[in-house]
A and B are shown apart, each in its own frame.
Chain A
């Protein structure tokens, strides 16, 4: 188990490293921060001074090595805006994004999984068809469309709910509904197909032969087995959630990391963008690692393979 974890961690570090390198070069090759920060209507000397100040005049490789050295010391560089540490800029917005994601996850799981499970157990009935219909709709509507529709309906039309900002609990409703719609649809679909697969397994018949009634057989025998493929979906989900947050935060002017990212890319605020990318990278890698470990915990067939020989 330890060896397994070490190997995974090593691979994870390699992934993050590649990500950092890739982002570093792509950002610098696709735009000039001096142009976007200082502007075009100032004398060229001013832009040159900006470049010298931030070390952008040096060869790309030198910049890269300096950046790595800083990173190794826990220094994420400084934002071009106000020269504040990039980490601070990101960190102060992190709670907003995390609370949005947390609320979305809660709603997603509470709606998606029961919906999928019930659809599978009642396969072919109107409940099933309704669940499939809802999840197709949820999947096919992009976040920004759902968001804008919700704003038009509840914000502009009915004026029931606030559409920008994050001050009160009411502010959560529309962004969370926007994001949870498609995520719950994904979970419902996966939960349904995982459950259908499990319900057809011979051990479900064995459970009935033992005297388990249908409902308790679903809870005791089907759910633990269906959870195994669902865990894989969780890592996938996190990726979708991050993308969804970037879009949704911008639609609802939510002051989180997602809107910061878009702003920083526009301005070529290199240090901030890189910090966010590293953060996302580490989150994804950590999620995958957790999934691998959870998988082994849930499924004894993978967990004990080394020992069994």
Chain B
């Protein structure tokens, strides 16, 4: 990752502390995210995948300035953004916007769509009166919502319309980065496509940079340029989308890709399943965090955490595939 990123993250750690009892039992600290480096190039869509509890949402919150986090580097367009949400400059809040899973939670049930889309402009003091409404209308058009929607209330909209209203509300501030945490998981299949296509268009037309967090690998493969795979608070593999899905190097990525349901019954895969359950983040194993479930586990994996390092020769159009695995790094033949 040598390219200059719009958003750069180095050594991010996010903690959850459980309260202890003074003098008797010390509290415990769990690192939900434990040393993550991530770079978003301008205009790219980066997918962040992993199973529940892997820390992907915690990472998104840290980017927002929420939670108990620390980082060596957290930069946006060269500017240090390590400050928590309430101490971030207003302009920064405008330039990075967020979209969450459930649009109904994100919308005020008693305000009209137009008001809610215009409200960020009011809060940021960016436009007045008529201009504000005009820009809100433009944002609604950008997400393919017609004028009839303006006067409606959230409960009168479909799930896909609601999520597009949420996106319009983010877009009205003309952000440079959009962080989407499971933006389509609550939507029906026939509706998901609206939102996915919209995100793709926003990138293509406006050069919007998007972090797309999802557990749906099929959608990630369809939408994203690059992907980072998280397991128990660390990134185990990252790289350009097609090469990584074609030839995943990390045994966990291989298991994830193998578990994607086939798009057609004639493409049922011979089953090679990952054993065990995703462990709870409370007590991560030493060494490589995946080693207790790993079919390739060796002695070193149990003690030595592998670093995320580039794979020699795995470079595609300037994007580097990297893996954090002792075995894969040695270049031994991996079952794919």
- State if A and B touch, Cβ cutoff 8 Å: yes
Interface SS majority for chain A: helix
Q: Which residues of chain A are near B218, meaning CB under 8 Å?
A: none
Q: A309 within 8 Å of B by Cβ?
A: yes
Q: Which residues of chain A are near B21, meaning CB under 8 Å?
A: 3, 7
Q: Which residues of chain B are near A309, meaning CB under 8 Å?
A: 28, 280, 282-283
Q: Which residues of chain A are near B283, meaning CB under 8 Å?
A: 309
Q: B299 within 8 Å of A by Cβ?
A: no
Q: Which residue of B lies closest to A2 (CB)?
A: B24
Q: B25 within 8 Å of A by Cβ?
A: yes
Instruction: Give min CB distance, A192 to chain B, whole Å.
Output: 29
A3 adjacent to B282 (CB under 8 Å): no
Q: Which residue of A lies closest to B21 (CB)?
A: A3
Q: Which residues of chain A are near B28, meaning CB under 8 Å?
A: 309
Using an 8 Å CB-CB cutoff, how does the interface string of A295-309 with B read, 1 for contact, 0 for none? 000000000000001
- Distance A7 CA – B21 CA, assembled complex (angstroms): 9
Q: Which residues of chain B are near A3, meaning CB under 8 Å?
A: 21, 24-25
Instruction: Give min CB distance, A25 to chain B, whole Å.
Output: 30
Number of interface residues of A (CB under 8 A): 3
Q: Which of A106-161 contact B (CB under 8 A)?
A: none
Q: Which of B244-288 contact A (CB under 8 A)?
A: 280, 282-283
Q: Which residue of B lies closest to A306 (CB)?
A: B25
Q: Which of A252-269 contact B (CB under 8 A)?
A: none
Q: Which residues of chain A are near B24, meaning CB under 8 Å?
A: 3
Q: Which residues of chain B are near A7, meaning CB under 8 Å?
A: 21
Instruction: Give min CB distance, A307 to chain B, whole Å.
Output: 12
Using an 8 Å CB-CB cutoff, how does the interface string of B35-64 with A read, 1 for contact, 0 for none? 000000000000000000000000000000
Q: Which residue of B lies closest to A7 (CB)?
A: B21
Instruction: Give min CB distance, B49 to chain A, whole Å.
Output: 26
Q: Which of A1-45 contact B (CB under 8 A)?
A: 3, 7
- Distance A7 CA – B25 CA, assembled complex (angstroms): 12
- Distance A309 CA – B279 CA, assembled complex (angstroms): 12
Q: Which residue of A lies closest to B28 (CB)?
A: A309
Q: Which residues of chain A are near B280, meaning CB under 8 Å?
A: 309
Using an 8 Å CB-CB cutoff, how does the interface string of B10-44 with A read, 1 for contact, 0 for none? 00000000000100110010000000000000000
Using an 8 Å CB-CB cutoff, how does the interface string of A271-309 with B read, 1 for contact, 0 for none? 000000000000000000000000000000000000001
Instruction: Give min CB distance, A253 to chain B, whole Å.
Output: 50
Instruction: Give min CB distance, B27 to chain A, whole Å.
Output: 12
- Distance A196 CA – B283 CA, assembled complex (angstroms): 38
Q: Which residue of A lies closest to B20 (CB)?
A: A3
Q: Which of A190-246 contact B (CB under 8 A)?
A: none
- Distance A3 CA – B24 CA, assembled complex (angstroms): 8
- Distance A309 CA – B24 CA, assembled complex (angstroms): 16
Instruction: Give min CB distance, A301 to chain B, whole Å.
Output: 15
- Distance A206 CA – B283 CA, assembled complex (angstroms): 32
- Distance A3 CA – B26 CA, assembled complex (angstroms): 12
Instruction: Give min CB distance, B15 to chain A, whole Å.
Output: 15
Q: Which residue of A lies closest to B22 (CB)?
A: A7
- Distance A7 CA – B24 CA, assembled complex (angstroms): 10
Q: Which residues of chain A are near B282, meaning CB under 8 Å?
A: 309
- Distance A276 CA – B24 CA, assembled complex (angstroms): 35
- Distance A309 CA – B280 CA, assembled complex (angstroms): 9
Instruction: Give min CB distance, B17 to chain A, whole Å.
Output: 13
- Distance A309 CA – B28 CA, assembled complex (angstroms): 9
- Distance A309 CA – B282 CA, assembled complex (angstroms): 7
- Distance A215 CA – B280 CA, assembled complex (angstroms): 38
Q: Which of B177-194 contact A (CB under 8 A)?
A: none
Q: Which residues of chain A are near B25, meaning CB under 8 Å?
A: 3
Instruction: Give min CB distance, B214 to chain A, whole Å.
Output: 26
Q: Which residue of A lies closest to B18 (CB)?
A: A309
- Distance A309 CA – B20 CA, assembled complex (angstroms): 12
- Distance A3 CA – B283 CA, assembled complex (angstroms): 22
- Distance A7 CA – B280 CA, assembled complex (angstroms): 28
Instruction: Give min CB distance, A306 to chain B, whole Å.
Output: 8
- Distance A309 CA – B25 CA, assembled complex (angstroms): 13
- Distance A309 CA – B21 CA, assembled complex (angstroms): 14
Q: Which residue of B lies closest to A309 (CB)?
A: B282
Q: Which residue of B lies closest to A6 (CB)?
A: B24
Instruction: Give min CB distance, A2 to chain B, whole Å.
Output: 10
Instruction: Give min CB distance, A109 to chain B, whole Å.
Output: 35
Instruction: Give min CB distance, A30 to chain B, whole Å.
Output: 38
Instruction: Give min CB distance, B289 to chain A, whole Å.
Output: 16
- Distance A38 CA – B21 CA, assembled complex (angstroms): 53
- Distance A309 CA – B283 CA, assembled complex (angstroms): 8
Instruction: Give min CB distance, A129 to chain B, whole Å.
Output: 31
Instruction: Give min CB distance, A304 to chain B, whole Å.
Output: 13
Instruction: Give min CB distance, B194 to chain A, whole Å.
Output: 31
Looking at B24, B28, B283, the one whose CB has the most chain A CB atoms below 10 A away is B24
Q: Which residue of B lies closest to A4 (CB)?
A: B21
Q: Which of B283-307 contact A (CB under 8 A)?
A: 283
Which residues of A pack against B, CB within 8 Å? 3, 7, 309
8 contacts between A and B (CB under 8 A): A3-B21, A3-B24, A3-B25, A7-B21, A309-B28, A309-B280, A309-B282, A309-B283
Knowing that A3-B25, A309-B28 are A-B contacts, what are 6 other residue pairs whose CB atoms are under 8 Å apart, sorted by A's residue number? A3-B21, A3-B24, A7-B21, A309-B280, A309-B282, A309-B283
- Rank and list the top 3 A-B pairs by shortest CB-CB distance, nearest first: A309-B282, A3-B24, A3-B21
